[in-house]
């Protein structure tokens, strides 16, 4: 087993942006832990597929994980309403872990206060949110700035997951 990767979950997540990284990380040998506001709750996606939270943020020791992934859809808007969800992103970043956000996942980077001074990308409709949070928007399929990895849409998932796995190799 290569280590542990957290993927955040909340209602109305983008199906591909949760499940593609989930299975890609498992395929690479990582234990993947879905973390949501309520342990055991099944959260529906944009298209009705449910993902169950294995744990809540307070049960995760960020020093014991390798990466934290934030899928998009409208779930990040729900995630950022829960202080513990925002705090786990901040703590993972402060601990130097890989923090990866795709699409609307950038909202969590802004809410966690970790976009400032970073080059990043996102779904175009939240570009202003990230630049207003102090980030520098770059329109490309994947952007890596230190331990922060961002992508725009489901079409970018191959580059997104490839870059996460490259960062995990250190």
Which residue segments constitute the domains of the chain, with CATH numbers given?
A: 3-169 (3.40.50.880)
The pLDDT value given to residue 159? 98
Res. 121 pLDDT band, cuts 50 70 90: very high
The pLDDT value given to residue 2? 87
pTM for the predicted model, two decimal places? 0.98
Res. 141 pLDDT band, cuts 50 70 90: very high
| Active-site residue list | 103-104
The pLDDT value given to residue 33? 98
Please provide the average confidence, as pLDDT, over all residues in the chain.
97
The pLDDT value given to residue 170? 72
HEC string of the chain equals CCEEEEEECCCCECHHHHHHHHHHHHHCCEEEEEECCCCCCEEEECCCCEEECCECHHHCCHHHCCEEEECCECHHHHHCCCHHHHHHHHHHHHCCCEEEEEHHHHHHHHHCCCCCCCEECCCHHHHHHHHHCCCEECCCCEEEECCEEEECCHHHHHHHHHHHHHHHHC
- Per residue in 22-42, pLDDT (tens digit) is 999 999 999 999 999 999 999
The pLDDT value given to residue 1? 63
């Amino acid at each position: 087993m290569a280590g542990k990767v957290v993927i955040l979950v909340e209602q109305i997540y983008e199906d591909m942006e949760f499940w593609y990284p989930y299975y890609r990380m498992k395929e690479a040998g990582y234990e993947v832990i879905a973390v949501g506001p309520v342990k055991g709750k099944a959260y529906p996606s944009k298209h009705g597929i449910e993902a169950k939270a294995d744990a809540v943020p307070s049960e995760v020791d960020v020093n014991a994980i390798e990466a934290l992934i934030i899928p998009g859809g409208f779930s990040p808007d729900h995630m950022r309403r829960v202080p513990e969800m925002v705090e786990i992103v901040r703590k993972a970043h402060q601990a130097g872990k890989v923090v990866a956000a795709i699409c609307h996942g950038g909202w969590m980077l802004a809410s966690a206060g970790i976009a400032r001074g970073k080059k990043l990308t996102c779904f175009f409709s939240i570009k202003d949110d990230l630049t207003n949070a102090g980030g520098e928007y770059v329109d490309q399929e994947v952007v890596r700035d230190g331990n922060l990895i961002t992508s725009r849409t489901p079409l970018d998932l191959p580059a997104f997951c490839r870059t996460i796995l490259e960062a995990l190799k250190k």
